[in-house]
Amino acid sequence: MEILGLDIGGSGIKGAPVNIETGQLTAERFRIPTPLPTKPESVANTVKELVDHFNWKGPIGCGFPTVVNNGKCMTKSNIHKSWVGVQVDQLLSEKTGLPVTVINDADAAGLAEMTFGAGKNKKGLVVTVTIGTGLGTGVFYNGILIPNFELGRIYYKNGEIIEYFAADSARKKDNLTYSEWGKRFNKFLKHTVRIISPDLFILGGGASKKMDKFENEITVDVPVIVAENKNEAGIIGAAVAAYLKDK
Average pLDDT score, the chain: 95
User: Could you give the 3-state DSSP secondary structure of residue 29?
Assistant: coil
Measured distance CA(58)–CA(1) in Å, rounded: 10
Under the banding of pLDDT at 50, 70 and 90, the label for residue 220 is: very high
- Confidence at 145, pLDDT banded by 50, 70, 90: very high
Q: Which residues contact 211 (CB under 8 A, 6 or more apart)?
A: 203, 226
- Among residues of the chain, what percentage have pLDDT more than 90? 91
pLDDT over threshold 80, residue 148? yes
pLDDT tens string 103-141:
999 999 999 999 999 999 999 999 999 998 899 999 999
pLDDT of residue 11: 86
Q: Note the pLDDT of residue 231.
A: 78
Rounded to whole angstroms, the Cα distance separating 152 from 146 reads: 15
Q: What pLDDT score was predicted for residue 76?
A: 85
pTM to 2 decimal places: 0.94
Q: Which residues pair with 103 in a beta bridge?
A: 63
pLDDT in the model for residue 69: 95
Question: Is the pLDDT at 230 greater than 90, yes or no?
Answer: no
CA separation for the pair 152, 135 (Å, rounded): 5
* pLDDT tens profile 202-211: 999 888 989 9
Angular region, 6: left φ>0, alpha ψ -120 to 50, beta rest: beta
**Residue spans of beta strands (DSSP E) within the chain:** 2-8, 12-19, 30-33, 60-64, 68-69, 72-73, 100-104, 125-131, 135-141, 144-146, 200-205, 224-226
Distance set, CA 59 to CA 43, 108, 112, 127 (Å): 19, 16, 17, 28
**First CA to last CA across the chain, in angstroms?**
14
- Residue 246 reports pLDDT greater than 80: no
The band of 158, judged by pLDDT with boundaries at 50, 70 and 90, is confident
Listed residue (43, 138, 169, 149) closest to 96, CA to CA? 43
pLDDT tens digit sequence for 61-96: 999 999 999 999 999 877 899 999 999 999 999 999
- What average pLDDT does range 233-238 have in this prediction? 96
- Which of 173, 234, 166 shows the shortest CA–CA distance to 12? 234
Q: How far apart are CA 101 and CA 91, in angstroms?
A: 11
